[in-house]
Amino acid sequence: MRTPWIRITLALASIAALTACPAAEVKPTPPAPKPAAPVAAPPPAAPAVDPAAAAYKAQGQDELDKALEALRHVSVFFEFDSSTLTKDASDKLGAVGDILSRHPELDVKIEGNCDERGSAQYNLALGQKRADVVKKYLAQLGVKEGQVKAISLGSEKPVDPGHDEEAWKKNRRADVQSQGAPAQDAAPAPK
């Protein structure tokens, strides 16, 4: 008979133990720590610049700037009622042709001009002949056709407004006008 008493005693002891022990305190779970502010990723590393390549590019830009400057304000002069190149004109155009051959990315416009004598129609035709002879000469020097545009201004753009032989000599000319820097690497405007 002992068994039931043992069972009852054990049951009572278990109950007493449960009621006598303080309940386990349930502590609230602390909030999860806030994530740290996102750290900005470092900027992508700049590509390594090869000093030799940078110097070469700078030298190339310097050369291009010098070429453009050499093409500014070049004029060749003609005799009265003529579109034949003089020796001086051929020499100047040789330098222009050399620059354009070395820099096929550059373009020029040739503006044929006349003095005030002659009709407007005659002067436009003569100015065109002068521009065309310059373009043809540059082509003979190896300049590509697409680099040169020839137009006539007739007597509309005199450099000397006088009405004598000295003024007329200055106005019988073809002007070489550089078309500026290449589009992909435009040079800054001169200050």
Q: Domains in the chain and their CATH numbers?
A: 63-181 (3.30.1330.60)
Mean pLDDT score, 91-107: 94
pLDDT higher than threshold 70 for residue 123: yes
Q: What is the pTM of this model?
A: 0.64
Per-residue model confidence (pLDDT) at position 70: 83
Residue 191's pLDDT band (cuts 50, 70, 90) = very low
3 state SS for the chain? CHHHHHHHHHHHHHHHHHHHCCCCCCCCCCCCCCCCCCCCCCCCCCCCCCHHHHHHHHHHHHHHHHHHHHHCCEEEECCCCCCCCCHHHHHHHHHHHHHHHHCCCCCEEEEEECCCCCCHHHHHHHHHHHHHHHHHHHHHCCCCHHHEEEEEEECCCCCCCCCCHHHHHHHCEEEEEECCCCHHHCCCCCC
Give residue 15's pLDDT: 65
User: Of residues 191 and 9, which shows the higher confidence score?
Assistant: 9
